[in-house]
Amino acid sequence: MGISFIILAVLCLLTVPIAYAVGLAALGGLIVAGVPLQIVAQRMFTQTDSFSLMAIPFFILAGNLMDKGGISVKLIDLSSELVGRIKGGLAMVCVVACMMFGAVSGSGAAASAAIGAVLFPAMVEKKYDKSFSTAIIATSGPLGIVVPPSIVMVVYATAANVSVGDLFLAGYIPGLLLGLGIILHCFIYAHIHNSPAGKKSSFKSFGLAFLNSIWALFLVVIIMGGILGGFFTATEASVVAVVYAMIVGKFVYKGLDRKIIIDVVAQSAKTTAAIMFCIATTNVLAWGLTSEQIISKMATAMLNISESKIIILLLINLILLVLGAILDATPAIILIVPILLPVIIKLGIDPVHFGIITTINLAIGMSTPPVGVTLFVSSSLTKTPITKVVKPMVPIWLILICILMLVTFIPQISMFLPSIF
């Protein structure tokens, strides 16, 4: 199976879609190992035939429905009441709105697209630098996968066999910290470049914005209350979110009609298919690597590098950051979690805590080249070339990596909430 890595690298560089590059890499390895090739179709089927992973299409669909239904606008209004009056407020509104959007939906790209589409024109109007604005949109979107509910956490929970509820709870404080980190950057940037403050807020206008978004925020109660109260599974919560978003979008915010709903369903189905196809072929590769015991060899090799838990954890973070930069978050998890989990358990780290570490790493990877979903989404949204966006992103990445280190080495940041519920 060693040959798989070479095939994978060559095909990815040739711009073969990642799902197929992974599949062909697995195929090459299996042929060399002399395994009957039915296993390819077999593993792809069993990986997709999963009720837990069905939370992926439902959270994507719910997120898109909420966006088109008008929920994102209400959340932006509420965010601008909260932080708008501060110097550089509009940039911070973007961060807060992305966090709120993340709290009602499960995907990062949707957050960047939904919030960015509304806020970017406003930021340009207020004379914010285009590259800076794009950078803020691209780095805020991934907060959506750290703030629960999160598609990436659902996939991790399946791969590592941990409770989705615990993982969701563990994500709140780290998600908040990351958001505050980007807000801090906006604050400093605003003072250097003398960016304007947004509109003033009054108790009355705040109350109004809160009432307007109460329908959206109530979804958090349904999803988290439902999962933590043991009423339903994450997948069931996600389908309830879909139905709720449809009803609220159609009858309360009135942004949805039949044509829009059909469009959104088709778009969400295609996004899901692309993600699931990646996961399916990755499962073939992961199976090949496990059956050849390459995974356990890699784990042993990693533990042999150093006696120190700190060094191994730093190394793992580095691997995840690189992996997050070249792969999409969901296939990255399917591929790497089986390899890293035995190492993590040997080191005495809670798999839930490790889930948060993994999610943050991959969230950072979402906004980095070469394969950063939110980077692509924001740069095409704002028509700013990626090469121009990278420079203003560097300080934000540094802040995010500092927070990642805090979360890695202080388990209580993640584990506090799951321990009290």
Partner 1 sequence: MNRATEIIKKTELVLIIVLMLGMVCSSFLQVVFRLVLKQPLSWTEELSRYLFVWMTFIGGALVVSESGHFKMDILTVLIKGRWVQVVNIIVNVALVIFSVVLVVYGFKLVHMVYSQKTPALGITMSIPYFVLPLNGVLSIIHLIENTIDDVKILLNNQEEVA
Residue numbers of the site for partner 1 (CB under 8 A)? 11-21, 23-24, 27, 37-38, 40-42, 44-45, 48-51, 53-54, 57-58, 61, 231-232, 235-236, 239-240, 242-243, 262, 265-266, 268-270, 272-274, 276-278, 280, 326, 328, 370-371, 373
Cβ distance 168 to 153 under 8 Å? yes
Q: Which is nearer to partner 1, 170 or 325 (CB)?
A: 325
75 vs 100, 153, 215, 237, CA distance in Å?
7, 23, 10, 21
Cβ distance 105 to 69 under 8 Å? no
- Beta carbon of residue 327, minimum distance to partner 1 (angstroms, whole number): 8
End-to-end CA distance of the chain: 44
Q: Which is nearer to partner 1, 12 or 209 (CB)?
A: 12
Q: Which is nearer to partner 1, 12 or 352 (CB)?
A: 12
Cβ distance 210 to 78 under 8 Å? yes
Q: Which is nearer to partner 1, 81 or 328 (CB)?
A: 328
How far apart (Å, rounded) are the C-alpha atoms in residues 312 and 317?
9
Where does residue 311 rank: exposed (0-12), middle (13-18), buried (19+ CB within 10 A)?
exposed
Q: Which is nearer to partner 1, 54 or 396 (CB)?
A: 54
In the chain, DSSP finds a helix count (H) and a strand count (E) of 21, 0
- Beta carbon of residue 185, minimum distance to partner 1 (angstroms, whole number): 28
- Beta carbon of residue 37, minimum distance to partner 1 (angstroms, whole number): 5
Q: Which is nearer to partner 1, 273 or 405 (CB)?
A: 273
- Beta carbon of residue 306, minimum distance to partner 1 (angstroms, whole number): 31
- Beta carbon of residue 391, minimum distance to partner 1 (angstroms, whole number): 17
- Beta carbon of residue 221, minimum distance to partner 1 (angstroms, whole number): 16
- The contacts of residue 22 (CB under 8 Å, 6+ apart) are 8, 278, 281, 282, 284, 285, 331, 335
Query: Quick one: which H or E segment has residue 165?
Result: helix 164-193
How far apart (Å, rounded) are the C-alpha atoms in residues 347 and 342?
9
Q: Which is nearer to partner 1, 20 or 206 (CB)?
A: 20
- Beta carbon of residue 266, minimum distance to partner 1 (angstroms, whole number): 5
